[in-house]
């Protein structure tokens, strides 16, 4: 009996110690993450600035304004355009590169992996400014294209709405493809090579092995990268601000950029309206993440 009570006492001490170590982190997460989220929700029902904040009349006025705001709707359209074009191309390239660089017979695998991964180690602001200079009217891209005869004269890539969006998509592909490739490489290295050898003996070619072995076994990793990519693209900010400044004529502006403009880049900041748009982005991210998890869940 004494031994049992002593054992229970030790276990309770261990549980108490666990909760004691978790408490500081839990408090920090509550204060630094969850409370600001709640504060933003409350702010989204208010109007005014600084100490003059007051409840909107009606309370949902900011949300009504949001769906009537043509510039905000344009920013939503731009963001989803980047999402629908860039994310599939990026993830397909990432998984194909991972498959190639996972080949045990490939020489200099480490060198190629490092070269493809390096762009994601570049600071967001730095790489946006680099692409801005590359695609400038007097930049390197124009110099090369004119030099080889593809263009007769320098073209203003960042001054045309369509080409400016293409430049943003190219920049995103350069920056994030290697990042996602690393996740796929990690997943591929957990797949036994004997599975591919058995499939080859059974007559499966490279495409069949990829489609029927690699993709199903990488499903959890694919779902994770899709959710992360959607999350990141819906919050796209640096490229719009630093690469095109949302131009020309707000044709490349993203939701996060427009939210920033309403918060800090106007004469009278409208935190209530910005908070409403932020909460809209939060709901979009949550819904799309839930859809991806449901679609990717193959459990009975």
φ, ψ of residue 47 in degrees (nearest 5): -135, 165
Looking at residue 298, its pLDDT comes to 60
- Record the tokens describing residue 144, joined without a space: 């090369």
Domain boundaries, the chain: 2-43, 64-296
- Residues 66, 276 contacting (CB under 8 angstroms): yes
pLDDT in tens, 182-231: 999 988 888 877 777 787 787 777 777 778 888 888 888 998 899 899 99
Looking at residue 177, its pLDDT comes to 93
Mean pLDDT by runs of 10 across the 300 residues of the chain is 56 84 90 87 83 82 92 94 94 91 83 89 87 91 92 91 94 93 89 78 77 84 90 91 90 93 80 91 88 69
- Residues 244, 168 contacting (CB under 8 angstroms): yes
DSSP 298: -
| Torsion sign, CA atoms 72, 242, 83, 41 | negative
Looking at residue 1, its pLDDT comes to 46
* Residue of 259, 293, 288, 296 lying closest to 276 (CA atoms): 259
Architecture, CATH, for domain 64-296:
Orthogonal Bundle (1.10)
């Amino acid at each position: 009996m004494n031994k049992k009570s002593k054992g229970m006492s030790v276990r309770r001490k261990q549980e108490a110690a666990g909760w004691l170590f978790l408490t500081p982190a839990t408090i920090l997460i509550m204060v630094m993450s969850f409370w600001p989220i709640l504060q933003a929700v409350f702010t989204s029902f208010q109007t005014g600035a600084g100490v003059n904040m007051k409840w909107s009349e009606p309370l949902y006025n900011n949300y009504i304004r949001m769906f009537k705001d043509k510039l905000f709707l344009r920013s939503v359209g731009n963001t989803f355009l980047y999402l629908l074009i860039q994310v599939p191309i990026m993830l397909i390239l990432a998984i194909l590169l991972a498959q190639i660089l996972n080949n045990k017979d490939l020489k200099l695998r480490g060198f190629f992996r490092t070269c493809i991964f390096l762009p994601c180690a570049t600071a967001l602001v730095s790489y946006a400014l680099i692409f801005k200079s590359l695609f400038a009217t007097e930049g390197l891209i124009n110099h090369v294209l004119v030099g080889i005869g593809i263009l007769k004269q320098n073209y203003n890539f960042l001054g045309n709405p369509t080409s400016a969006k293409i430049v943003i998509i190219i920049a995103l592909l350069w920056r994030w493809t290697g990042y996602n490739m690393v996740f796929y490489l990690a997943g591929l290295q957990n797949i036994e090579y004997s599975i591919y050898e058995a499939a080859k003996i059974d007559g499966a070619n490279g495409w069949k092995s990829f489609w029927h072995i690699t993709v199903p076994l990488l499903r959890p990793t694919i779902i994770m990268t899709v959710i992360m990519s959607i999350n990141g693209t819906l919050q796209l900010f640096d490229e719009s601000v630093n690469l095109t400044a949302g131009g020309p004529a707000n044709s490349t502006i993203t939701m996060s950029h427009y939210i920033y403009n309403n918060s800090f880049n106007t004469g009278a900041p409208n935190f209530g309206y910005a908070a409403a748009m932020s909460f809209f982005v939060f709901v979009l991210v949550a819904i799309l993440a839930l859809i991806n998890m449901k679609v990717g869940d193959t459990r009975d």
